[in-house]
Amino acid sequence: MQNNQQGQLIYVVSDSIGETAELVVRAVVSQFDSNLIDIQKYPYIEDTHSIDEVIASAKELKAMIVFTIVIPELKAYIVEQAAQAEIPIIDIMGPLLSTLQDVLQVPPTGKPGLVRRLDEEYFRKVDAIEFAVKYDDGRDPRGLLRADVVLIGVSRTSKTPLSMYLANKRLKVANVPIVPEVEPPEELFQLPKERCIGLVINPEQLNEIRTERLKALGLTAQANYANLDRISYELEYSRKIIERIGCPVIDVSKKAVEETANIILEIIKRNQTKRS
């Protein structure tokens, strides 16, 4: 690549993918005529030989170097070589790393690619949350076979809040309401039983929860939804479905969502240990 005599070539150099340095450079470049500046990225620079090649090219084409290298030996090497070759060089992360080290009195890890890993964790969480929303309340049975865990139970057994809580732990969760008048989807019985969790609750507590729910909606508490006989009938039907599947059961009576979620996470962990 030849440098434009009227412009400036910038090498973005990193021991990871180089997204951080490139983002900063492009933000700065946006303040100038973009036709005057050309950016070329050199990611995954992991040895001195690769740095030598970058330095030689930068010197020949009169490029400047912007870098995010956190491995101390490579960082020192590129700074030294650039100085000897009289190449302008900017360390994007160095000043902030140094200041944080002084403030925290803790040295940085010196490991490349940690931002990328954090980004991957973030997007996994987003995917899991979108999955939980899409397959909430039995909306699409096709999602059950793709879920990490499927929650089943009668209405108001915390299926949706549990799904969202677990999604924030990067688990893809679907949930299915068990209603006597509605046949459960076939996919529910095709799942490995350890990937399904049955939720049960004390009838009296469920009666209280449903009664409060009806009041919040401006409806009469005498509706069949909160009738104790109806609740007992639903719970018995749900129990039969859970037994048919053969999945683990959690009694959510008097349990906070976090407490139930931790039990589910423990079940998943035990199952993973058995498979490994």
Q: What size, in residues, is the chain?
A: 276
Asked if residue 1 has pLDDT above 80, the reply is no
Q: What is the pLDDT of residue 2?
A: 43
Neighbouring C-beta atoms of residue 53, cutoff 10 Å: 12
Q: What is the pLDDT of residue 118?
A: 53
CA angle 29, 34, 38 (to 5 degrees): 80
Per-residue pLDDT, averaged over 170-194, amounts to: 96
Q: Which residue type does 18 have?
A: G
Token pair for 108: 């940085």
Q: What is the pLDDT of residue 122?
A: 72
The phi and psi torsions of 192 (rounded to 5 degrees) equal: -60, 130
CATH topology of domain 8-112: Rossmann fold (3.40.50)
Q: Residue 86 — very low, low, confident or very high, per pLDDT cuts 50/70/90?
A: very high
- For the chain, residues classed under CATH 3.40.50.2300 are 8-112
Q: Which residue type does 112 have?
A: P
Domain 120-275 class?
alpha beta
Per-residue pLDDT, averaged over 245-263, amounts to: 96
Measured CA to CA, the distance from residue 187 to residue 135 in angstroms comes to 13
Q: What is the pLDDT of residue 4?
A: 43
Asked if residue 101 has pLDDT above 50, the reply is yes
Asked if residue 111 has pLDDT above 90, the reply is no
Q: What is the pLDDT of residue 140?
A: 92
How would you classify residue 111: left for phi > 0, otherwise alpha for psi between -120 and 50, otherwise beta? beta
